[in-house]
C-alpha cells in the first residue's frame, strides 16, 4: 500500500496495520481460495488469532480499506489502460489523416504541374497555329499577287495580240 493511502486512511480514522502486520494479513487472506464457502468468516477468525489485540470491527474496517484500495488500484489500471489504448488509436488516426493529407497534397501538386505543362503546351501550339496561319495568309496573298500579275500579263499579251492583229489587218487592207 502506498504511503499516501496509509496517510489518508489514518487521517480518516481508519485502522492501519504495520508493514509486518499487513504482510501477515495478506498471507492469511491468500491461504483461503476465493471460491471457498464461508471464506470471509474463516479468514476473519484466523486474523483474530494473529491479532488478538485488534477488535473484529477493526479487522473488518481494515478489510474495507483494503477492498477500497484494491478497487482504486484496479480502476486506475483500467483508466491508464484505456487512456493508453485511446492515445494509441488517436495517434494512429492522426498518422493516417496526415498520410492522407500528404497524399492529397502530392496529388494536387502533380495535377497543378500537369495543368501548367498542358497550358504551356497549349500556348506553344497556339503560337505555332498563329504562325502557320500568318504563313498561310502570306502564301495566299503572294498567290493572289502572282495570279493578278499573270492575268495582267495575259491581258497585256491579248491586248498586244489584238493590236498586232489590227495592224496586220490594216496592212492587208492597205495592200488590197
Environment class of 24 (CB within 10 Å of its CB; exposed 0-12, middle 13-18, buried 19+): middle
| Separation CA 174–CA 166 (nearest Å) | 12
Q: What is the pLDDT of residues 27-64, one digit of tens each?
A: 999 999 989 999 999 999 999 999 999 899 999 999 99
How does DSSP assign the chain, residue by residue?
A: --HHHHHHHHHTT-----HHHHHHHHHHHHHS-TT-TTHHHHHHHHHHHH-TTS-HHHHHHHHHHHHHHHHHHHHHHHHHHHHHHHHHHHHHHHHHHHHHHHHHHHHHHHHHHHHHHHHHHHHHHHHHHHHHHHHHHHHHHHHHHHHHHHHHHHHHHHHHHHHHHHHHHHHHHHH-
The domain locations on the chain are: 3-91
Going 32 to 34 to 37 to 38, the CA torsion angle's sign is positive
User: What pLDDT is attached to residue 6?
Assistant: 47
User: What pLDDT is attached to residue 4?
Assistant: 58
| Separation CA 113–CA 116 (nearest Å) | 5
Low-confidence stretches of the chain (pLDDT beneath 50):
1, 3, 6-7, 9-14
User: What pLDDT is attached to residue 8?
Assistant: 54
Amino acid at each position: 500500500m502506498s504511503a499516501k493511502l496509509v496517510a489518508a486512511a489514518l487521517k480518516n480514522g481508519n485502522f492501519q496495520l504495520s508493514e509486518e502486520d499487513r504482510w501477515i494479513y495478506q498471507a492469511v487472506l491468500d491461504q483461503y481460495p476465493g471460491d471457498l464457502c464461508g471464506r470471509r468468516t474463516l479468514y476473519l477468525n484466523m486474523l483474530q488469532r494473529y491479532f488478538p489485540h485488534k477488535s473484529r470491527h477493526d479487522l473488518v474496517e481494515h478489510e474495507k480499506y483494503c477492498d477500497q484500495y484494491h478497487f482504486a488500484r484496479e480502476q486506475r489500471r483500467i483508466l491508464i489502460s484505456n487512456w493508453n489504448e485511446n492515445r494509441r488509436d488517436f495517434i494512429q488516426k492522426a498518422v493516417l489523416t496526415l498520410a492522407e493529407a500528404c497524399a492529397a497534397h502530392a496529388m494536387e501538386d502533380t495535377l497543378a504541374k500537369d495543368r501548367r505543362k498542358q497550358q504551356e503546351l497549349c500556348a506553344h501550339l497556339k503560337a505555332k497555329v498563329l504562325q502557320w496561319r500568318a504563313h498561310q495568309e502570306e502564301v495566299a496573298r503572294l498567290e493572289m499577287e502572282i495570279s493578278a500579275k499573270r492575268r495582267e500579263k495575259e491581258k497585256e499579251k491579248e491586248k498586244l495580240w489584238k493590236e498586232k492583229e489590227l495592224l496586220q489587218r490594216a496592212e492587208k487592207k492597205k495592200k488590197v
